[in-house]
Amino acid sequence: MAEVHVAVGVILDRDQRILLTRRADKAHQGGLWEFPGGKVEAGEDVLQALDRELREELAISVAHSAPLIAVRHDYGDKAVLLDVHLVRRFSGEPKALEGQPMAWVAVADLPDYDFPAANVPIVEAVTAALQ
């Protein structure tokens, strides 16, 4: 099965809270919370895809990011490579442009949210990075 390359942003505000959005019910892994992002398209690199996705989904643009972790996961119906970046600086005020539920969450409260299975190592890496 072809692996889908996904650019994912762990977006932090000044208080080190993290921006989560909820996936549409009908989407793959629908109804679960996610770190915003989306598929890398042909001709893009991962940072271009991240910036484009965050513009499309949240009306922000990335001013500074750093790689956090890359996670491969096979859901059976779909295999993904999540290329995750910490976004500590961005311009604009995040708005849920696609009507998706959105929440700013302290790292200690991440365990209260249901994520796709691939996100387990991401949550661990965020928790370690924000110690």
Ligand X SMILES: Nc1nc2c([nH]c(=O)n2[C@H]2C[C@H](O)[C@@H](COP(=O)(O)OP(=O)(O)OP(=O)(O)O)O2)c(=O)[nH]1
Which value, in Å, is the radius of gyration of the alpha carbons in the chain?
14
How far is it, in rounded angstroms, from Cα 101 to Cα 91?
20
Q: Which residue in the set 16, 28, 45, 103 belongs to the binding site for ligand X (CB under 6 A)?
A: 28
Tell whether residue 44 is among the known ligand binding residues: no
Contact between 65 and ligand X per CB under 6 A: no
The b-or-e profile of 59-80 (16+ CB within 10 A means b, else e) is ebebeebeebbebebeeeeeeb
Q: Which is nearer to ligand X, 28 or 131 (CB)?
A: 28
CB 94 within 8 A of CB 58: yes
Contact 73, 118 (CB under 8 A): yes
The least CB distance from residue 53 to ligand X, in Å, is: 6
Question: Which does residue 90 bind out of ligand X, Mg ion, none, counting CB within 5 to 8 angstroms by kind?
Answer: none
| 35 or 90: CB nearest ligand X | 35
Residues paired with 5 in a beta bridge: 81
If binding is defined by CB under 5 A, does position 9 make contact with Mg ion? no
Q: Which of 60, 107, 119, 126 binds ligand X (CB under 6 A)?
A: 119
Q: Return the residues of window 90-109 that contact ligand X according to CB under 6 A.
A: none
Which spans of this chain sit near ligand X (rule: CB under 6 A)?
A: 6, 8, 27-29, 34-39, 53, 78, 80, 82, 116, 118-119
